[in-house]
Amino acid sequence: MPPRKSTHRSPVRFIARTLIRAKPAPFPGFIVPCLATLKEEPPAGPRWVHELKLDGYRAQASFHDARATVYSRRGNDWTARFGSIGAALQHLPANGFIIDGEVVVPDDEGRPNFGWLQDDLAEGRTDRMLYYAFDLLWLDGFDIRAAPLVDRKRVLAELLEKAPQPILYSEHFEIEGPALYDQACRLGVEGTISKVRDAPYRSGRGETWIKVKCWQRRKFVVVGFVPESSAGIAALRLGERRNGKLMYAGKVGTGWDRAAAADIRRQMDALVRKTSPLDERLRKPDTLWVEPRYEADVAFADMTDDRLVRHPSFHGLSLLPEPRMPPPRGRLAPSLARARAARSDASLSPRPSPPRTGRGSPRPRIR
C-alpha cells in the first residue's frame, strides 16, 4: 500500500487518552486476537452486550508510519488480498490505529456469504468486500486494550463516523442475548457474539466473549466412511436426495467418542461395497463406500454453494425406513383385486357376537 503523508489530525486521540486504563505505548504491530468461546446458548443479563456473528474472515487493520496493513487472524499480511480495505483505511482521521474486525462479502439479500468471499479471494476480486470493525486496540500512541469494551467501541464509532465504504462500524445491542439470537437465526446470519461490557481486550480464547451459532439440523444418507485404524472411523461421507438422485453432501468427523466410533464402524463394515452409491462421479481414494441403509443426524451451520455441509457435528445414526413396495402387476393383479373384493364383502356381513362368560363380560380375544 503506498504511504500516505501524515497530517497529524486526530480528533479522537484526545478521547483515547482519557479512557480508563489507557496508557501511552509504542505501536505494537500485530496483536494476537481475542477469541470467543463456543457455547450452546447465549448469556443474558446487564453484564453483556451482543453483536451479530458475521460469516467471513477475521482481519486486523492497522495504520502506522503512513502505511496501512491488513493482517489475517494468524498474523499473515493480507493487505494485497484485501486491497480495497487497505486503501480506505488511509482516509480515517488518525495517525495510527489498530482495529479488530471481520471481512465479508454480502449476497444479493445482504447476508454475509462465506462462499462468495472465498470465490472473490480466489479471483483476486475486492470490490464486493466489506470490513465490519468491532473493536479498537491502539490509537495514536495509546494502548487502550485495558479500557472497558463499551468505551473502546465508543471511540471506534467516532473514528469511523465518516469512514468510506467498505469500512463499517459493527453495532452492538444492549438487549437480552437469547432475543438477539432468535432474531439472528431468523435473519439467516451465522449467530451471535456476546461480550462482557466492561471487559478488557485479552489475546487468546476466554470467557468474556461467547459465540453461539445458528445451527441447522437434518438427516443425511450415509454413503461411505473414512476408516481410522482397523476399528475406528475418521469421518462419514454424506449424501442427500435431490430431484430423485442421491448426491454428495460432504462429510462429518466430529460428535462421537471412541466407543461410539467403534460401534459405527462395525455397522458400516457390514455394508461395504465396491462402488459408490451416489448418482454422480466422485473420486475419494480414502473412502470405503457402503450400501445406503443408514442416515446420520447432523447439526451444521449452513451449506456451501456446492451443497456441502459446513461445520457439521454428528448426533446419531438410524436405519433408513424401508422403501414401500410397488403394487403388484401382471398375473398377481387380478388375484389381489379379488382378495380386496372378498374382504370388502366380508366387512359388510354382521360379525357374530363373542361368547360371554361369567358375569356377562366378553371373553378376551387372543391376537
Residue for cell digits 465508543?
154
- List all residues 6 or more positions away from 276 whose beta carbon is below 8 Å from its beta carbon: 223, 224, 282, 284, 289
Q: What is the phi-psi region of residue 62: left when phi exceeds 0, alpha when psi lies from -120 to 50, beta otherwise?
A: beta
Residue for cell digits 454413503?
223
- Given a contact cutoff of 8 angstroms between Cβ atoms, the answer to whether 223 and 289 are in contact is yes
What is the C-alpha separation between 198 and 149, in angstroms, rounded? 5
Could you tell me the three cell numbers for 69?
Answer: 496493513
Closest CA to 193 of 102, 127, 269: 102
Could you tell me the three cell numbers for 275?
Answer: 462402488
Could you tell me the three cell numbers for 52?
Answer: 451479530
**Secondary structure element (H or E) that encloses residue 285, with its range:** none
What is the C-alpha separation between 33 and 57, in angstroms, rounded? 13
- Given a contact cutoff of 8 angstroms between Cβ atoms, the answer to whether 128 and 103 are in contact is no
Catalytic residues: 53
**Secondary structure element (H or E) that encloses residue 260, with its range:** helix 258-269
- Given a contact cutoff of 8 angstroms between Cβ atoms, the answer to whether 27 and 175 are in contact is no
- List all residues 6 or more positions away from 79 whose beta carbon is below 8 Å from its beta carbon: 1, 68, 69, 70, 86
